[in-house]
Amino acid sequence: MAVDRVCEALRRPQTLEALSPSGWDVLVRQARRSGLLARIGCILEAQGSIDAVPDAPRMHLRAAMLVAEAQHAEALRELASIETALAPTGVQPVLLKGCAYVAAGLLPAMGRIFTDIDILVPKHKLGEVEAALMLNGWATTHHSPYDQRYYRQWMHELPPLRHIRRGTVIDVHHAILPDTARLKPSSAKLLASARPIAELPRYAVLDSPDMVLHSMVHLFHNDDLSHSLRDLSDLDLLLRHQGRVPRFWADLVARARELDLARPLYYGLRYTNLRLGTPVPADTLRASAADAPGALVGRLSDALWSRALRPQHQTAADRWTPAALFALYVRAHWLRMPPVMLLRHLTVKALGLHEAPAAAST
Amino acid sequence: MIVSELGAPALAARLRSGGLRVRTGPVVVNIESPLADVHAGLALHYAQHTVEPADGFADFHVRVDRPRSLRRWIKPQVIFRHDGAEPFTPLAGNQGFAVLEWGLNWCVSTHCHQYLIVHAAVLERGGRALILPAPSGSGKSTLCAALAFGGGWRLLSDELALIDPATGRVVALPRPVSLKNDSIDLMRRFAPDAVFGAVVHETSKGEVAHARAPAEGLLRADQPALPAWVVLPRYLAGAPTQLAPLSRARGFMALVDNAFNYHVHGRSGFATFAGLIDRCACHEFSYSSLPEAVTLFDRLARSA
């Protein structure tokens, strides 16, 4: 298989000091495509060796770090506006993914690139939250009746809302998986154990094990694999961050089973450990192995994920990569909705029927 | 080694496979393309550019190609690829070289955040830089070409002012000067020595032709210049040549309005623009006659 410079850089950043100019050429290209250029820059800065990087690649790292910093500052400003908008609803939104890492100051905030803000609110508050946001300048983005119904009836989030002046996007979730998905993690349980952010008490984040499990679900159930390595690195940093508390590991497997997320946990621990050398206690690995798939599915999963969890760049691909990505794309849809519904959805999308205007539906 | 020393067959071979690595200003670009008009454009416009070693670091890997679709047999299009990604929709016909130029500008303006980048032409005389910030269609490139080809000014860039926040200087990115529609013939008459590439007809901007960057600009590409003037240009048919003072506040806002990455730089971006404006005289300039414009800027350069 072709070379994966990004995993190598994440696993052993100290070896970058010996990297040749052509090695940097490939690393910068792969890291940019993976959304990890800023993170590698942050890691090098944290270990005090960024100034040893040759001028040309260093400028790309610094530029990406600057973009990430600007995005983080924008996200925090945006949270202030959302807080004002949602104040009358009394809802304390739970921040998810990139925004949560940044707002709560967690390790995966390092060089994390993101633009959309993801929040989780109780399902019965969804209408109130949407109305409050609309009153303050956010408007829906998917206008066709099919898309609106797709989101509102089947998905775990509202159609993305975009602010009409600032252009910023917020995704309002009421669950971490679609209602139609095979796995049924309870939103009530997730919300019940969420904890407020010390510096931003109007917001909360998921409890440590839940945050890790959500990150795993997001990675292993996503049909868009273009940033899968970035998500794996998030998971790696999150496990390293949360794993410093010994109780964390003891709770993790039990909590995963309680939330119907035992299989994603198995994959998450296996592939962070395999690809990025994430330290996982032997007890936890053993306990989670009870949730592993059978030998055949396990081997197939390894073959597929070993190709997906790489930079999606020509220098890192082999002849099976396109087939593996397609198989995982189909799998993500398969896990997201029952077969008949999936067939209908894909037919509508393929024929472009979801773009039909609302005219005749009065 | 420079591109003209490669010879046409070697140039074409590199462009077809592996890529031609050239330096343009502070960046090294690896260019691939099977298209003949791209080969011709590079041979003409990049003749004096340095060829960089293939085993070194390239800032951008770009490719101009025909999209893979049935349309290539009926109404061929061209597509710009940045390392496999396609930031623009395909465009019609044989505008490969123009697409390459726009693509390279896009690469720089969306990635090179070590600079504050302003949509502006930049020229230099006596060590002092003249910044002409303006949106497309304002006559910025035409004025820039006139000053660079017949006005005794050195071309730093006709499109992107790369401002180094550490020094306040503008870094040169001397590239082919893009001219549109009536400006093309106007410039041919005004500067008979300028070297033009093929005129492309089917672009969204009308007719486009590129003039080769003047030799002095290329030879001195490694010399940045400290800004002394910010001038907002405007071509108005039949208008008298007029230079009017502009408040520093409006000069500042002109930089912000035309900046590509002001939002990325935050507080330091504000400080950089403020420092730049403090050092500059700011003007608004409207013109319709190129000789008069050149005379006026000549006087401006000598005055202070």
Q: Which of A281, A260, A258 is nearest to A269 (CA)?
A: A281
Q: Is the pLDDT of residue A313 over 60?
A: yes
The angle at the Cα of A58, spanning A53 to A64, to the nearest 5 degrees, equals 140
Amino acid symbol at A349: K
Distance CA A38, CA A248 (A): 28
Contacts of B56 in chain A (CB under 8 A): 21-22, 25
Tokens of residue B198, six digits: 């093929």
- What is the per-residue pLDDT for A264? 95
Output the furthest CA–CA distance in chain A (Å, rounded): 67
Q: How far is B190 from chain A (nearest CA, A)?
A: 39
> Cα A292 vs. chain centroid, distance in angstroms?
22
Q: Is the pLDDT of residue A356 over 60?
A: no
Q: Is the pLDDT of residue A360 over 60?
A: no
Residue owning tokens 């890691």: A43
Q: Is the pLDDT of residue A292 over 80?
A: yes
Distance CA B287, CA B294 (A): 10
Considering only A231-235, A245-249, A329-333, B163-167, which range has the smallest mean pLDDT? Answer: A329-333
**B171-183 mean pLDDT:** 92
- What is the per-residue pLDDT for A358? 46
Q: Which of B57, B111, B263 sits opposite A63 (nearest CB)?
A: B111
pLDDT in tens, B239-274: 899 999 999 999 999 999 999 999 999 999 999 999
Burial class of residue B183 in the structure, from the number of CB atoms within 10 Å of its CB (0-12 exposed, 13-18 middle, 19+ buried): buried
**A263-291 mean pLDDT:** 94
- What is the per-residue pLDDT for B73? 66
Contact A73 B58 (CB under 8 A): no
- What is the per-residue pLDDT for A359? 43
- What is the per-residue pLDDT for B287? 93
Report the chain A residue with the minimal C-alpha distance to residue B29: A25
Contact A29 B264 (CB under 8 A): no
Contact B56 A22 (CB under 8 A): yes
The angle at the Cα of B187, spanning B183 to B189, to the nearest 5 degrees, equals 125
Distance CA B178, CA B157 (A): 11
pLDDT above 90 covers what percent of chain B?
Answer: 78
Pairing outcome for strands A117-120 and A169-173: parallel
Q: Which of A54, A70, A314 sits opposite B263 (nearest CB)?
A: A70
**A217-246 mean pLDDT:** 92
- What is the per-residue pLDDT for A331? 85
Contacts of B58 in chain A (CB under 8 A): 25
- What is the per-residue pLDDT for A266? 96
- What is the per-residue pLDDT for A1? 45
Distance CA B93, CA B74 (A): 10
Q: How confident is the model at residue B70 (pLDDT cuts 50, 70, 90)?
A: low
More confident residue, B237 or A255: A255
Q: ipTM, 2 decimals?
A: 0.92
Contact B61 A29 (CB under 8 A): yes
Q: How confident is the model at residue A249 (pLDDT cuts 50, 70, 90)?
A: very high
- What is the per-residue pLDDT for A155? 83
DSSP A356: -
Helix (H) / strand (E) element for B67: namely none
Q: Is the pLDDT of residue A361 over 60?
A: no
Tokens of residue B187, six digits: 């410039």
- What is the per-residue pLDDT for A332? 85
pLDDT in tens, B10-50: 999 999 999 999 999 999 999 999 999 999 999 999 999 99
- What is the per-residue pLDDT for B71? 64
- What is the per-residue pLDDT for A150? 81
More confident residue, A360 or A227: A227
Residue A172 pairs in a beta bridge with A119
Considering only A29-43, A89-103, A217-231, A340-354, which range has the smallest mean pLDDT? Answer: A340-354
Q: What is the mean pLDDT of chain B?
A: 92
Which of B21, B57, B107, B260 is the best substitution to test chain A (most A C-beta atoms within 10 A)? B57
- What is the per-residue pLDDT for B21? 96
Contacts of A21 in chain B (CB under 8 A): 55-57
Q: Taking phi first (over 0 means left), then psi (-120 to 50 degrees means alpha), and beta for anything else, what does residue A96 get?
A: beta
Q: How far is A166 from chain B (nearest CA, A)?
A: 12
Phi, psi (5° rounding) for residue A163?
A: -75, 130
Q: How confident is the model at residue A213 (pLDDT cuts 50, 70, 90)?
A: very high
Contact B57 A54 (CB under 8 A): yes
Report the chain A residue with the minimal C-alpha distance to residue B58: A25
- What is the per-residue pLDDT for A335? 83
Which of A19, A32, A50, A60 is the best substitution to test chain B (most B C-beta atoms within 10 A)? A60
Q: Is the pLDDT of residue A31 over 60?
A: yes
Q: Does B304 touch chain A (CB under 8 A)?
A: no
Residue owning tokens 């250029």: A37
Contacts of B85 in chain A (CB under 8 A): 33
Contact A33 B263 (CB under 8 A): no
Residue partners of A341: CB distance under 8 A and separation at least 6: A154, A180
Q: How confident is the model at residue B52 (pLDDT cuts 50, 70, 90)?
A: very high
Q: Which of A33, A56, A69 sits opposite B57 (nearest CB)?
A: A56
Rg, chain A, Cα only: 21
Q: Are A122 and A130 in contact (CB under 8 A)?
A: no
Query: What's the sign of the alpha-carbon dihedral A49, A50, A52, A57?
Result: positive
Q: Is the pLDDT of residue A362 over 50?
A: no
Q: Are B182 and B167 in contact (CB under 8 A)?
A: no
**B65-93 mean pLDDT:** 83
Considering only A254-263, A339-348, B43-52, which range has the smallest mean pLDDT? Answer: A339-348
- The whole-model pTM stands at 0.91
